[in-house]
């Protein structure tokens, strides 16, 4: 097991591969010997990034289009001859979605329906298309969820709900396909300092999350990539049906820990 973290000879499809977490994962898996597919609706950007990675391939992925999802898997196997890892990381997000994803009382039915149609349905179709090939390779699936799939919040009711749906899909696939040698796990990031988040998230709210984080900083895309690559490797061969929370300990403690920290510091020690 000394080299079990290596991914030599494995083929990995990374959806959302042109984004921060997706590309960081592609870089790390390539460094560990995998051949990767960067799948993204921003296919030109994916091609630019794939050109920087040895042996990588960029393919179009539109999660709203069932044919596009199925073509991604078919083209991957046609090009590389196999599929070992599917990292479902792509999602319909963006500033407009985030601005309108509040509490349920103010929730637009159209926003709710579209996020489920793209993100949950699209992830299911990707898993369904990949599973025959993953059975052949004894491969695995890693789904990106969120710590909000495990916690309640004032906002992002749709986001938290569909992430929780994918978490349950993860467990279902693990239970039904483990006997065939296929593992399925999820990674749940907390707030992660991708370029998109740095641009879009209000500094005041970012500071609130930083204060609740047990590390001295928020996570980076590379931190999530390490969790994904570990689960994808043979080092995690005995792990399936699980969610690995990578949020700097933000979800692990009692509410109000910042105030307790202030109280017990300085004069109160």
Query: In CATH, what number is assigned to the domain containing residue 20?
Result: 3.40.50.720
Residue 182: closest CA among 139, 143, 142, 144: 139
Task: Say whether 116 is catalytic.
Answer: no
CA distance 54 to 51: 8
**Residue at 6 is within a domain:** no
Residue 18: closest CA among 2, 3, 37, 31: 37
Active-site entry in 80, 159, 162, 230:
159
**Residue at 147 is within a domain:** yes
pLDDT score, position 196: 65
Q: What is the DSSP string of 220-258?
A: -HHHHHHHHHHHHSGGGTT--S-EEEESTTTTSS-TTHH
**Residue at 4 is within a domain:** no
Number of domains in the chain: 1
- Chain centroid to Cα 46, Å, comes to 17
Give the H/E segment covering residue 189.
strand 183-189
CA distance 231 to 189: 14
The tokens 């926003």 sit on which residue? 111
pLDDT score, position 269: 47
CA distance 6 to 237: 13
**Residue at 144 is within a domain:** yes
**Residue at 2 is within a domain:** no
**Residue at 76 is within a domain:** yes
At 46, list the tokens. Answer: 């994916």
**Residue at 172 is within a domain:** yes
Question: Which stretches of the chain drop beneath a pLDDT of 70?
Answer: 1-2, 192-193, 195-201, 206, 254, 266-269
Residue 15: closest CA among 25, 3, 2: 25
Provide the residue range defining the domain that includes 115.
Answer: 11-268
pLDDT score, position 249: 74
């Amino acid at each position: 097991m000394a080299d079990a973290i290596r991914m030599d000879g494995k083929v990995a499809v990374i959806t959302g591969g042109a984004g921060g977490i997706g590309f960081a994962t592609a870089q790390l898996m390539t460094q560990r010997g995998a051949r990767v597919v960067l799948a993204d609706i921003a296919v030109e950007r994916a091609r630019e990034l794939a050109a920087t990675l040895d042996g990588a391939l960029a393919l179009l992925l539109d999660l709203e289009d069932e044919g596009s999802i199925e073509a991604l898997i078919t083209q991957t196997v046609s090009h590389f001859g196999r599929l070992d890892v599917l990292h479902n990381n792509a999602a319909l997000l963006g500033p407009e979605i985030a601005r309108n994803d509040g509490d349920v009382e103010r929730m637009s039915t159209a926003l709710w329906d579209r996020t489920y149609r793209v993100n949950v349905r699209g992830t299911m179709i990707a898993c369904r298309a990949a599973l025959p090939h993953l059975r052949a390779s004894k491969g695995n699936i890693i789904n990106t969820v969120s710590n909000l799939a495990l916690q309640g919040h004032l906002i992002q009711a749709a986001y938290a709900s569909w992430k929780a749906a994918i978490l349950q899909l993860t467990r279902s696939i693990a239970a039904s396909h483990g006997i065939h040698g296929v593992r399925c796990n999820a990674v749940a990031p907390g707030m992660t300092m991708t370029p998109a988040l740095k641009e879009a998230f209000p500094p005041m709210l970012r500071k609130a999350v930083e204060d609740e984080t047990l590390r001295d900083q928020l996570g980076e895309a590379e931190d999530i990539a390490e969790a994904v690559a570990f689960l994808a490797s043979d080092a995690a061969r005995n792990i399936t049906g699980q969610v690995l929370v990578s949020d700097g300990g933000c979800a692990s403690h009692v509410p109000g820990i910042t105030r307790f920290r202030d109280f017990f510091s300085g004069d109160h020690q």
